[in-house]
């Protein structure tokens, strides 16, 4: 995100352009990433916790089934709230209602009781009395029965992904019996290709082939962890089959010195997009990174990634996450147009020219509309180091020998 503070475009409500579901996802309040310096429009800004209050607290673990999910605002009104439960790799929206006065959201009926061994996400958008929007995103996990473990994994069932997609499991407990757990997860494809697992520490296991998937490949993930021992007296609970499809190939090459991004589709150059990358003090990672999230609009707060209070932009448009540490490709409406293609001024992200409301035929919107989860973005000629293979889905930065060496099954 750029630290140039000039804004472009009129203020006002964000216009969302995708489907009904994405109309809610569009305002995910992921409090991470890089951005420009001054993002306020005047007056004292509330912190996200002050503007939108959510219980249970963010990243709470072991939440009991009788705990309640609640979203409140001290003033203004809630515009939208989405609560999602992820259990056995299946997403289910939790039914709830915003109160007539717009100040609170509560679940309905049986949805008020939390499921066990589940991960929940809460995405809320509020509008204050001056018409300014703010967004907040939180997650929490519920209690897992004693001596049990589960794995949260991506991609989603029945999704269509890019050719760089990596199947990734994050376990809620440390796994000591890694071979047994890895054998219980079977990843196969049609057409067939060898797929190997790689452990990152004791709680993450990723799977990928030697090279990017071929377009049109059908991938099946069989999760047979139920009653598998992952550690002494700790057993798995999941028994599930997940399938996803690999779509067309799209690989985008960002040259930080040239300030350009070449977008190639199935090997053919589609477009060369002017960009701004990380400044010399906060350069962008080099290496291959995979799009893991897509958000029509999100909040980026420098305090969540170690930049202090340098920036807090509540309506960053067309945001594509590349790393867990906060690297994005995203729209930038607050910087002068002449920086794109000429100057690197961001805090490590890759910025594309955009409009504040996300509309118009801008480079950022063009790229967002043509991207899939699992697409690859490779950065070259940056002054920073190569991205770590466990920072997001960045395992393609290891060669096949290195990747297979991280398997517990030989």
- Measured CA to CA, the distance from residue 241 to residue 220 in angstroms comes to 7
Which class for 183: exposed (0-12), middle (13-18), buried (19 or more C-beta within 10 A)? middle
Neighbours of 211 (CB within 10 A): 11
- Measured CA to CA, the distance from residue 233 to residue 148 in angstroms comes to 8
Nearest partner of 293 among 200, 399, 393, judged by Cα: 393
Reading the block at residue 158, the tokens are 């029945």
- Measured CA to CA, the distance from residue 38 to residue 347 in angstroms comes to 13
Bridge partners of 122, per DSSP, are 83, 138
Catalytic residue among 3, 198, 330, 347: 330
- The three-state secondary structure class of 273 is strand
330 catalytic? Reply is yes
The verdict on whether omega for the bond into residue 56 sits within 30 degrees of 0, i.e. cis, is yes
Look at the block and give the residue holding tokens 């309506």: 315
Nearest partner of 145 among 120, 111, 107, 173, judged by Cα: 173
Active site residues: 330, 349
């Amino acid at each position: 995100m750029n630290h140039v503070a000039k804004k472009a475009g009129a203020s006002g409500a964000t216009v969302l352009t995708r489907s009904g579901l994405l109309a809610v996802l569009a305002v995910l309040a992921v409090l991470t990433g890089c951005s420009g310096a001054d993002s306020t429009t005047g007056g004292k800004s509330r912190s996200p916790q002050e503007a939108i209050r959510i219980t249970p607290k963010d990243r709470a673990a072991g939440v009991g089934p009788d705990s309640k999910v609640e979203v409140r605002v001290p003033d203004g009104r809630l515009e939208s709230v989405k609560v999602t439960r992820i259990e056995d790799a299946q997403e289910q929206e939790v039914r709830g209602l915003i109160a007539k006065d717009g100040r609170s959201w509560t679940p309905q009926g049986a949805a008020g009781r939390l499921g066990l061994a589940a991960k929940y996400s809460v995405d809320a958008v509020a509008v204050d009395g001056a018409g300014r929007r703010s967004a907040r995103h939180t997650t929490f996990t519920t209690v897992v029965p004693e001596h049990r473990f589960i794995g949260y994994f991506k991609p989603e069932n029945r999704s269509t992904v890019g050719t760089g997609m990596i199947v990734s499991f994050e376990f809620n407990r440390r796994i000591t019996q890694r071979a047994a757990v890895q054998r219980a997860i079977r990843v196969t494809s049609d057409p067939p290709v060898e797929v190997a697992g790689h452990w990152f520490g004791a709680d993450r296991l990723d799977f990928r082939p030697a090279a990017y998937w071929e377009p049109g490949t059908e991938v099946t993930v069989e999760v047979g962890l139920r009653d598998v021992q992952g550690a002494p007296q700790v057993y798995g609970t999941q028994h599930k089959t997940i399938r996803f499809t690999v779509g067309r190939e799209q690989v985008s090459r960002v040259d930080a010195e040239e300030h350009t991004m070449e977008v190639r589709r199935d090997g053919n150059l589609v477009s060369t997009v002017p960009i701004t990358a990380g400044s010399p003090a906060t350069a962008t990672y080099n290496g291959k990174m995979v799009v893991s999230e897509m958000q029509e609009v999100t909040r980026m707060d420098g305090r969540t990634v170690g930049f202090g209070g340098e920036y807090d932009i509540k309506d960053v448009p067309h945001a594509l996450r590349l790393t867990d540490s906060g690297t994005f490709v995203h729209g930038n409406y607050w910087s002068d147009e002449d920086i794109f293609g000429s100057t690197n001024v961001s805090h490590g992200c890759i910025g594309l020219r955009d409009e504040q409301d996300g509309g118009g035929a801008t480079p950022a919107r063009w790229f967002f509309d043509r991207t899939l989860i699992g697409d690859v973005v490779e950065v070259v000629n940056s002054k920073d180091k190569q991205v770590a293979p466990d920072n997001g889905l960045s395992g393609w930065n290891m060669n096949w020998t290195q990747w297979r060496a991280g398997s517990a099954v030989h």
